[in-house]
Structure 1
Amino acid sequence: MMTPIALITGGSRGLGRSMVLNLARKGVDVVFTYREREAEAAALVQAVNDLGQQAAALQLDVAKGSGFEAFATQLQQTLDQQWQRCRFNYLVNNAGVGVHKTFEETTEDEFDQLMNIHLKAPFFLTQQLVPLLEDGGAILNVSSGLTRFAIPGYAAYATMKGGIEVLTHYLAKELGERGIRVNTLAPGAIETDFGGGAVRDNQELNQFLASQTALGRVGVPEDIGPVVAYLLQDENRWVTAQRIEASGGMFL
């Protein structure tokens, strides 16, 4: 049986890094994208190699859809050269940025940036990559707990993630004939540098969110990576078109 290969966008840091390492621990080889921190990406490739798996890091700015066709070609070449394969098994649309502004303060440029990265990129990058995805594979789109509950300051961001959850349903329906499962993972509040590191660095916000979470704390990246590794496994072959929230029980 061939080793499965996963592609994770935005995989060099934060949640993506945890996803890469946990997939490697499960015996999955990984291709991940990074935008500009090449040294971090190279270190992660080595960490995956140290776990006994193969990895490749490819540069990609998901805000620029004009580069998606060339990226698909680069991925195809990487699969051929490093794995002697023409297809991969799992796609995780994870890359993202955060903007924390009220509805009234959000500018059109900020709205467009969030739309390009969080909605257009998963739509059109997936469109380019689906021909390279194995039948019977899986797609996981990263959303947010903010589509279920509302915290002031995230109106634009959550709007894009709501779109991703709808897109997940349509992809599950249209790709189902190929046996491809498509699900949404919705993390809750996580201590990372995302959105300026507010959840990690603002103790008042951190404590408030922890007080509203059943398990009594906010999340860390290592809470999310294992969930991704679990959901992509073939043992979950009968789970598709679902929204799985990993939030420790926020705002129940």
Structure 2
Amino acid sequence: MKVAIVTGASSGIGQAAAIQIAEREVGVILTYGKNPQGALDTVATIEINGGTAVSLPLDVGDSSTFPAFRTSMAGVLHDTFGRDTFDFLVNNAGLSRTSLIADTSEELFDELMRVLLKGPFFLTQTLLPLLADHGAIVNTSSNSTTVGMEPGYSVYASMKGGLDVLTRYMAKEFSTRGIRVNAVSPGATRTRLADDAFTRFPEVIPALAARTALGRVGEPDDVGMVIATLLSEQSRWVTAQNLDVSGGFNL
């Protein structure tokens, strides 16, 4: 059985991606930060549908914890899947904070940098020895770097822009092992990001839907299916790409 690692899979896009990946008969090791119950819900959904999943805690914003996570992950690979390696990595865990450039503190800048750019860089580096040749990586970026630019997202989008560049460099460097690396850039998607903003401010949804060519905001499954497809054999000739998954936002 092939195995995927999906970070930030206790809700939203990560949860949807984990479920979609498992539906393709891939085992899943999923991580969570502050929402252990959500991780258990993801595991339960996968198991109800006949799949296999295990959840592990991971603070993507603290790279000093990555070696211990690799050790725990290696134990799960061996005990649950009978494997010493895994096949797919989805760098999805993230957070969103908004602040105008004039008001942004170094603390906020550093927090977003640690989670959105440093985290994926060093987690991938840490797990790379366990990633099987001819595997695949998908990084979750954002269309805030292009058509979704809004005041207040300068730091968030800058880190995602860095992740876009990192995606291409990963694709170049890892190609010698046959490992494909791509990114997805969601638009407005109904997740818990930004402190569950859609639930707290439902009035913004009609305006976002009006700016979207397909007439609604995105659902986690819309993006999760694309992530699962990029990992699959159907995308075996796709690498170094960043797919806009926004339903045509600001088209």
Q: TM-score, normalised by structure 2?
A: 0.96
CA deviation string 1:50-98 (max 9, x = no partner): 1111111011111111001111111111101111100111000000011
CA deviation string 1:161-205 (max 9, x = no partner): 000000011100000010000001100011122112334542442
Task: Name the counterpart of 1:245.
Answer: 244
Is 1:218–2:209 an aligned residue pair? no
Mapped to 1, the partners of 2:78 and 2:110 lie a distance apart of: 36
Mapped to 1, the partners of 2:213 and 2:17 lie a distance apart of: 24
Is 1:33–2:28 an aligned residue pair? no
Mapped to 1, the partners of 2:31 and 2:242 lie a distance apart of: 24
Task: Name the counterpart of 2:185.
Answer: 186
Mapped to 2, the partners of 1:27 and 1:231 lie a distance apart of: 15
- Which ranges of structure 1 fall in alignment gaps of 5 or more residues? none
Partner SS state of residue 104, structure 1 = helix
Task: Name the counterpart of 1:231.
Answer: 230
Shift of 1:30: 0.4
Matches within 5 A, 1:135-146: 135-146=133-144
CA gap of 1:82–1:203, structure 2 versus 1, over 3 A, is closer
Native 8 Å contact 1:198 1:205 kept in 2:
no
Aligned-pair RMSD on alpha carbons?
Answer: 1.2
Q: TM-score, normalised by structure 1?
A: 0.96
Native 8 Å contact 1:10 1:95 kept in 2:
yes
Mapped to 1, the partners of 2:187 and 2:124 lie a distance apart of: 24
Task: Name the counterpart of 1:70.
Answer: 68
Task: Name the counterpart of 1:5.
Answer: 3
Native 8 Å contact 1:181 1:239 kept in 2:
yes
Letter in 2 for 1:177: T
Partner SS state of residue 136, structure 1 = strand
Task: Name the counterpart of 1:94.
Answer: 92
Letter in 2 for 1:228: I
- Which ranges of structure 2 fall in alignment gaps of 5 or more residues? none
Letter in 2 for 1:230: T
Runs of 4+ residues over 4 Å off in structure 1: none
Mapped to 1, the partners of 2:80 and 2:221 lie a distance apart of: 28
What percent of counterpart residues are identical? 45
